[in-house]
Amino acid sequence: MLRDDARLGLLLAHDGNWRGRQIIPATWIEEATRVRPEQGHLKPGVATPYLGYGYQVWIAPGERRILALLGVRGQTILVDPASRLVLVHTAVRKQAAGGSATELRALWQAVTDTLAN
C-alpha cells in the first residue's frame, strides 16, 4: 500500500509521466489539479475552510500548486509538483471523522521550505 501510494504521488508530481513514459496526459493532470476561475465554489478557503478541490484531489491555497489525497482515517499523500516532492502518511485514526493534521502539515511545510527552494 505504501509503495502504491508513493507511486501515485510520484505520477502526480511528474504530471502523469512515469519513468519517461506519459501514462496520463499532462493536460489532464493540470486540469484535475487546478480550480478554474468559473469554479469559485471549489477554491481553497471556499470548498473547505482551508483546501480547494479538483478531480478527487484536494488543492492547497497559494501560488504554488500543492496537492493532497486524503483518506477517511488520516491516510495522506502530499505532492509538490514543482519540486517533485511526495510525502505519504499511512496512520490510521480510530474514528473516521475528527483528528488533526497539524503536525503533518508542519512537517510538510518544513520539508518543502527546506528542499523546494
* Model confidence, pTM: 0.87
Q: Is the pLDDT of residue 96 over 70?
A: no
What are the DSSP E strand ranges found in the chain?
17-18, 21-22, 52-53, 58-59, 67-70, 76-80, 85-89
CATH of segment(s) 2-115 = 3.40.710.10
The percent of residues above 90 in pLDDT, for the chain, comes to 59
How does DSSP classify residue 42? G
Q: Is the pLDDT of residue 117 over 80?
A: no
Residues 91 and 75 sit within 8 Å (Cβ to Cβ):
yes
Closest CA to 4 of 71, 60, 77: 77
What is the Rg, in whole angstroms, of the alpha carbon atoms belonging to the chain? 14
C-alpha cell at 52: 480547494
